[in-house]
Chains A and B, each alone.
Chain A
Amino acid sequence: MANEVGIITWISGPVVRARGSRHVGMLELVEVGQDRLVGEVIGLKGDQMTVQVYEETAGMQPGAPIYGTGLPLSVELGPGLIQSIYDGVQRPLPLIEQAVGSFITRGARFDSISREKKWKYTPKAKVGDEVKGGDVLGVAMETDTFEHRVMVHPDDAGTLTWVAAAGEYTVNDTIAKLKMGKEEKNVTMLQRWPVRRARPFVQRRGANIPLITGQRILDTFFPVAKGGAAGIPGPFGSGKTVTQHSIAKWADAEVIVYIGCGERGNEMTEVLQEFPHLVDPRSGRPLMERTVLIANTSNMPVAAREASIYTGITIAEYYRDMGYHVALMADSTSRWAEALREVSGRLEEMPAEEGYPAYLAGRLAEFYERAGYVDNLNGTQGSVSIVGAVSPPGGDFSEPVTQHTKRFIRCFWALDKSLASARHFPAINWLDSYSEYIEDVANWWREKVGKDWLGMRTKAMELLSEEARLSQIVKLVGPDALPYAERMVLETARLIREGILQQNATDAVDAYSSVEKQIRLLELVLYFHERGMAIVKRGAPINLIHDLPVVDTIIRAKSSVTNEEINKLDDIQKMIDEQMGQLDAEYR
């Protein structure tokens, strides 16, 4: 087991220096001091080692021992991850609470995955099968409906010499024996993987299926593809967390990994208390049954915050390898970057921009590059999509974390303080945001929804940017100076903003919008525009159109028409026809 590899010589916050063995490995997991706090070797120089400690170091003294483990910082992977809530280094928070009470004390050590719990297991491979890394040996039912595919460890390959019968097993029980060369290995449902190393796959595929989130401004206007990466930067109070929660609730991924990285404790509690009661619209099961939570709140040790991102992404990759679509939310990557900065500062490294270490961009790239839609080792396809929140100081997008993030994502959802102040939610600014996946996913819309999504989206974006241009003029001379045709653009743009872009996350009907409803709403608004434009061009005053009762009906349709009864939107189209028809007749 762990043997003594050094003696502490210096302590400052989460950073400890020690003198000792030259055989300690870089990034090796070590245990620090008599309390055996978890730490990781982050620097070696001769017989000096620098260790970042994932727990509070108060009370520790120079002269205390450091124990080596010979292993890098790793996570445990196996059935039982889903519905768990872990801290940044995968310690199960509910067990810590049971053991030491409401406050997290140091040195609490628990298995990340329960060794006692039995899983209903069915073998899928048989004796004599040649298997390699990633191949599925059998399935364990992780929830009533979720199949956990037990795979061969990516580094292993060989011939199966024994296979367990169907039955109930713990993660410690042998479920197969694998002959690799001369040795025979007992395979269990549990495997370990170093968090800083991406899990292998065969090859990346193009990302051209949208991750449907039920959020109109995302799906219709700025879609992210499955296997893609998106960033949500925004000043405080602009709704980063609400947007992340909405995606975690409604995204059509099979597994959600939610990382609360240096954020509020109450927010994690909200997820914990809300998700078990919310129902996944696709599976009909509680949302918690597809969710893994990593909670390293702002007041928990800062080094563990740095690790939490890697813990989360490794778990996400593990489910991807089974052939699932996984969506990972990281709230907030800025707090993670600050953890890097804090540790870097204590190491007295030369700072680059705003005190951040020079390797910030590299670390961000490593993280976002672990997203992808891939061919797995076992022949299945799976994806990890990443949605990273960014918290720029003072809402200034020119700061290093936002700027470097922009280099590695292809979808940028810019939150806007002034929209949030006007309670326009989600406060995603449609002029500052972009998605590079639009062309890629257009085909999906054509095939699955059967409408010209790309054309309608382009038209709507044109109207919105036209509105922005006209608003500049309105600010100077007032709306009355504009010709009716241009005021018609303003009317329609308002309908797009209030009837489509605005979405109430707390309204039962409006919280999730099916793609069919989204596209039909957009179609209605554009139809209204077309009819109205024809009429005003013949000289009808704009206020007649503005005052049509159907305007209000269209704006309210998002919350009055449910996803199941979108044919009611046809009635609204009839209303448009009737009311516009009257005007049409008058001004013919």
Chain B
Amino acid sequence: MSEATVLGGQEVVGVGRIEGPIMVVEGAANVSYDEVVDIQDSRGQHRRGRVLEVGEGFAVVQVFAGSTGLSIDGTRVRFLGDTLHMPVAEEMLGRIFDGLGNPIDGGPEPLTDVYRDVNGQPINPTARIYPRDYIQTGISTIDGVNTLLRGQKLPLFSGAGMPHDQLAAQIVRQATLGRLAGAPQTEGEEFAIVFAAMGVKNDVADYFRKSFTESGALTRVAMFLNLADDPPVERIVTPRAALTLAEYLAYDLGKHVLVVLTDMTNYGEALRQISNVRGEVPSRKGYPGYLYSDLASLYERTGRIRTSEGSITQIPILTMPNDDMTHPMPDLTGYITEGQIVLGRELYYAGVYPPVTVLPSLSRLMKDGIGKGRTRDDHPRWGAQLYAAYAKTQDIRALASVIGEEELSEVDQKYLKFGRAFEREFVNQAFTENRTIERTLEIGWKLLSMLPSKELTRVTLDEIKQYYKGDDATS
């Protein structure tokens, strides 16, 4: 896989200790920290590993495929002299790879002499371009109130059994370059898609493959699959391999790349497993203290740089264990990513698709990609107004559940109606429905018009004059 394979390297026969996916190799000299190793078991089968810790005459090695079948005396370890590199090429779009980047679609190894370190290198903050171009996903809850920009990382926080895969597939299918509201719909620039599956079930991977095929996107998708029955330790490499290809496509070839990573929770579990076996001091819920830095080393490989036309936009998906947003995985993810789209079970049970719970959802970069000259002048205040009104609806619902709807004031009853309509007409849309930005704005104003104009303090009076159609509209 790497050039180093051809070059050979120092070989040690026999290992000192094997524990879970970790083994200690003794008697090796000149081993580098983070070096890749090739491991041959007694039956001649090869697997790959990486040096996690190195001292005088010993090295601690993490075995990607797990240590099943390895023996103390019968194992040969070859140190390959370099960190983990992978080949990258444009031709990798349209192909399927395993979690380490080896082709599993029956095709040949990618033909290229460009090899990249899977760990990547941090982007210099001075080399970045701040994201400003929005992506129209055709989904109101995203375009309208949680706008996604090129070069942003915006995760989907979901729970087991909810339709996060459908939503991700819909985003991938519909995503086009954003334009001004009212401007003619042009053929959007298409995104190259890099898809990494970590520990997901076979049918999830199948679902995405089928969805990419149906939308005709398959030729611009590279899939990296580490499925539920693949070795967990490989999962540490899978997103890195995917992002290494994405960086090449974006920053070397100038493409706009959309990266979908699913499911980050499984990734975190693999990390925890390795940490536990190594006996590291755990922080919360047994996760290692460096979970934040480790996740950042993935999520921060997003963005735009000045020397390239391309961009990397990330949509990591993670299922929150027990729907708990304070669990370390969603929590630390939320601290790194630029917002989050949260799916809620209550809406899901009510039959709303996509069940995006609007209030805890957020796009931090939205403010810089919408409004005058980007979508429409009123968009930012319109969005804040929808949020504020829907937040107020939640308070009134709580009140109504105590004193009954009939006891509510007239205005409060209007809020209840607004809330229901907001969920049914704004949040809810068909899997195949691709809304334009002006359609989304129009629905929003229609809903706001259900409230007295005096309640709308977040929008300007001019905007009320122009768009508000309620009973007490002035014109």
Contact A338 B126 (CB under 8 A): no
Contact B392 A422 (CB under 8 A): yes
Interface: A325 (CB within 8 A): no
Contact A295 B125 (CB under 8 A): yes
Interface: A506 (CB within 8 A): yes
Contact with A along B331-343 (1 / 0, CB 8 A): 1101110111000
Which one, B35, B125, B280, B308, contacts A85 given CB within 8 A? B125
Tell me, in angstroms, the Cα distance from A393 to B332 when the chains sit together: 7
Which chain B residues border A339 with CB–CB below 8 Å?
Answer: 293
CB distance from A32 to the nearest CB of B (A): 11
Which one, B34, B128, B152, B331, contacts A394 given CB within 8 A? B331
Contact with A along B285-308 (1 / 0, CB 8 A): 000111011001100110101111
Contact B362 A299 (CB under 8 A): no
Interface: A537 (CB within 8 A): no
Which one, A265, A302, A393, contacts B303 given CB within 8 A? A265
Contact B408 A478 (CB under 8 A): yes
Interface: B471 (CB within 8 A): no
Contact A104 B407 (CB under 8 A): no
Contact with A along B92-129 (1 / 0, CB 8 A): 00000000000000000000000000011111111111
Tell me, in angstroms, the Cα distance from A298 to B125 when the chains sit together: 11
Binds B, one of A157-165, A170-178, A268-276, A279-287: A268-276
Closest to B400 in A: A478
Contact B125 A269 (CB under 8 A): yes
Contact A59 B83 (CB under 8 A): yes
Tell me, in angstroms, the Cα distance from A101 to B31 when the chains sit together: 29
Binds A, one of B37-45, B211-219, B380-388: B380-388
Given A335-B292, A338-B293, A552-B454, the answer on whether A264 and B338 have CB atoms closer than 8 Å is yes
Interface: B364 (CB within 8 A): yes
Interface: B178 (CB within 8 A): no
Which chain A residues border B126 with CB–CB below 8 Å?
Answer: 85, 93-94, 97, 269, 272
Within 464-491 of A, Cβ neighbours of B (below 8 Å) are at: 474-480
Which chain A residues border B124 with CB–CB below 8 Å?
Answer: 93, 96-97, 102-104
Contact B365 A474 (CB under 8 A): no
Which one, A9, A101, A299, A355, contacts B296 given CB within 8 A? A299
Interface: A508 (CB within 8 A): no
Which one, B293, B364, B399, contacts A237 given CB within 8 A? B364
Tell me, in angstroms, the Cα distance from A424 to B387 when the chains sit together: 10
Tell me, in angstroms, the Cα distance from A235 to B402 when the chains sit together: 30
Contact B32 A474 (CB under 8 A): no
Which chain A residues border B297 with CB–CB below 8 Å?
Answer: 298-299
Tell me, in angstroms, the Cα distance from A480 to B124 when the chains sit together: 58
Contact B54 A11 (CB under 8 A): yes
Given A105-B121, A298-B292, A345-B280, the answer on whether A266 and B31 have CB atoms closer than 8 Å is no
Which chain A residues border B334 with CB–CB below 8 Å?
Answer: 235-237
Contact A342 B290 (CB under 8 A): yes
Interface: B253 (CB within 8 A): no
Contact A61 B130 (CB under 8 A): no
Contact B55 A9 (CB under 8 A): yes
Contact A421 B283 (CB under 8 A): no
Given A61-B33, A264-B300, the answer on whether A103 and B123 have CB atoms closer than 8 Å is yes
Interface: B326 (CB within 8 A): yes
Within 29-68 of A, Cβ neighbours of B (below 8 Å) are at: 56-63
Within 123-159 of B, Cβ neighbours of A (below 8 Å) are at: 123-131, 151-152
CB distance from A394 to the nearest CB of B (A): 3
Contact A10 B282 (CB under 8 A): no
Which one, A10, A237, A300, contacts B55 given CB within 8 A? A10
Interface: B52 (CB within 8 A): yes
Which chain B residues border A338 with CB–CB below 8 Å?
Answer: 289-290, 292-293
Tell me, in angstroms, the Cα distance from A339 to B325 when the chains sit together: 23
Interface: B53 (CB within 8 A): yes
Given A12-B53, A61-B33, the answer on whether A298 and B336 have CB atoms closer than 8 Å is yes
Which chain A residues border B365 with CB–CB below 8 Å?
Answer: 266
Contact B367 A423 (CB under 8 A): no
Closest to A425 in B: B384
Contact A345 B281 (CB under 8 A): yes
Contact with A along B230-261 (1 / 0, CB 8 A): 00000000000000000000010000000000
Given A62-B56, A269-B129, the answer on whether A393 and B121 have CB atoms closer than 8 Å is no
Contact A298 B296 (CB under 8 A): yes
Contact B359 A393 (CB under 8 A): no
CB distance from A461 to the nearest CB of B (A): 22
Which chain A residues border B351 with CB–CB below 8 Å?
Answer: none
Given A104-B121, A269-B128, A298-B300, the answer on whether A262 and B457 have CB atoms closer than 8 Å is no
Contact B35 A236 (CB under 8 A): no
Given A351-B281, A479-B409, the answer on whether A265 and B336 have CB atoms closer than 8 Å is no
Which chain B residues border A396 with CB–CB below 8 Å?
Answer: 326
Which one, A93, A102, A266, contacts B306 given CB within 8 A? A102
Given A299-B297, A476-B402, the answer on whether A62 and B125 have CB atoms closer than 8 Å is no
Tell me, in angstroms, the Cα distance from A10 to B59 when the chains sit together: 9
Which one, B30, B52, B280, contacts A63 given CB within 8 A? B30
Given A266-B365, A269-B130, A474-B399, the answer on whether A556 and B54 have CB atoms closer than 8 Å is no
Contact A102 B407 (CB under 8 A): no
Closest to A478 in B: B403
CB distance from B30 to the nearest CB of A (A): 6
Interface: B328 (CB within 8 A): yes
Interface: A112 (CB within 8 A): no
Within 296-331 of B, Cβ neighbours of A (below 8 Å) are at: 296-297, 300-301, 303, 305-308, 325-328, 331
Interface: A391 (CB within 8 A): yes
Closest to A63 in B: B30
Interface: B160 (CB within 8 A): no
Which chain B residues border A300 with CB–CB below 8 Å?
Answer: 122
Within 315-358 of A, Cβ neighbours of B (below 8 Å) are at: 335, 338-339, 341-342, 344-345, 348, 351, 354-355
Contact A354 B284 (CB under 8 A): yes
Query: Of residues A10, A105, A266, A391, which shows the largest number of chain B Cβ atoms within 10 Å of its Cβ?
Result: A266
Interface: A213 (CB within 8 A): no
Query: Of residues A12, A57, A335, A395, which shows the largest number of chain B Cβ atoms within 10 Å of its Cβ?
Result: A12
Which one, B305, B332, B367, B461, contacts A506 given CB within 8 A? B367
Within 437-487 of A, Cβ neighbours of B (below 8 Å) are at: 474-480
Closest to B324 in A: A394
Which one, A105, A417, A478, contacts B407 given CB within 8 A? A478
Interface: A414 (CB within 8 A): no
CB distance from A433 to the nearest CB of B (A): 20
Closest to A17 in B: B55
Which chain A residues border B127 with CB–CB below 8 Å?
Answer: 97, 101-103
CB distance from B371 to the nearest CB of A (A): 9
Given A10-B56, A479-B409, the answer on whether A265 and B125 have CB atoms closer than 8 Å is yes
Contact with A along B185-216 (1 / 0, CB 8 A): 00000000000000000000000000000000
Sample of 13 A–B contacts (CB below 8 Å): A56-B121, A57-B34, A59-B34, A59-B35, A85-B125, A265-B303, A269-B129, A270-B368, A297-B122, A302-B290, A355-B284, A420-B362, A478-B403
Q: Name B residues whose Cβ lies closer than 8 Å to a Cβ of A.
A: 29-35, 52-56, 82-83, 119-131, 151-152, 251, 280-284, 288-290, 292-293, 296-297, 300-301, 303, 305-308, 325-328, 331-332, 334-336, 338-340, 359-360, 362, 364-365, 367-368, 380, 384, 387-388, 391-392, 398-399, 402-403, 407-409, 454, 457-458, 461
A-B pairs, top 6 by smallest CB distance, nearest first, are A394-B326, A298-B296, A422-B391, A58-B34, A236-B334, A102-B127
- Further pairs besides A391-B335, A475-B402: 12, Cβ < 8 Å: A10-B55, A17-B55, A57-B34, A61-B54, A103-B122, A103-B127, A236-B335, A264-B336, A338-B290, A420-B362, A422-B391, A555-B457
Q: Name A residues whose Cβ lies closer than 8 Å to a Cβ of B.
A: 9-13, 17, 56-63, 85, 93-94, 96-97, 101-105, 235-237, 260, 262, 264-266, 268-270, 272-273, 295, 297-300, 302, 335, 338-339, 341-342, 344-345, 348, 351, 354-355, 391, 393-396, 417, 420-424, 474-480, 498, 506, 547, 552, 555-556
